[in-house]
A = this chain, B = another copy of it.
């Protein structure tokens, strides 16, 4: 009846990783069912509502990937007709194509719906939780 003494069950970073993983699992399954990889979704979500485009480095930072990984992901997304690259100075602005924007809009709508369910389950706690998370992300 005693609590498990396992280190990883109490370790904050493990709890964060586990919570993130578990909370995302449902939506990630929907993405997979639609044939959209998680990194692709992250890029689409980031570009959604950024009509002037976002640079490769910014995308990498926001999507929590490294820059070369992002460059290659963008190669594939460009090949799939989801985004275009536009050189601007020394950086590169990444923009959604029309099909890319359409897909992004659909997925963001699904994500919002999915989030609403999650938030409903944790009714009052959401704002405080989000504030804490932002703080941790500091």
Please give the residue numbers on chain A whose beta carbons come within 8 Å of chain B beta carbons, in ascending order.
Answer: 5-8, 10-24, 27, 42, 45-46, 48-50, 62, 64, 108, 111, 115, 118-119, 122, 125-126, 128-130, 132-138
Copies of this protein in the assembly total 2
Nearest CB in chain B: distance from A87 CB, A: 23
Task: For the complex of A and B, list the 3 residue pairs with the smallest distance between their C-beta atoms, beginning with the closest.
Answer: A16-B20, A19-B133, A19-B136
Residues of chain B with a CB closer than 8 A to A17's CB = 20, 24, 64
**Nearest B residue to A130, CB-CB:** B15
Also in contact, A16 and B13, with CB within 8 A (given A62-B8, A129-B132, A136-B122): no
A111 to B135 alpha-carbon distance, docked (Å):
20
13 A/B residue pairs, CB under 8 Å, sorted by A? A7-B45, A7-B108, A7-B111, A8-B46, A11-B45, A11-B111, A12-B130, A13-B27, A13-B115, A15-B137, A16-B20, A17-B24, A128-B128
Residues of chain B with a CB closer than 8 A to A45's CB = 7-8, 11, 14
Nearest CB in chain B: distance from A38 CB, A: 10
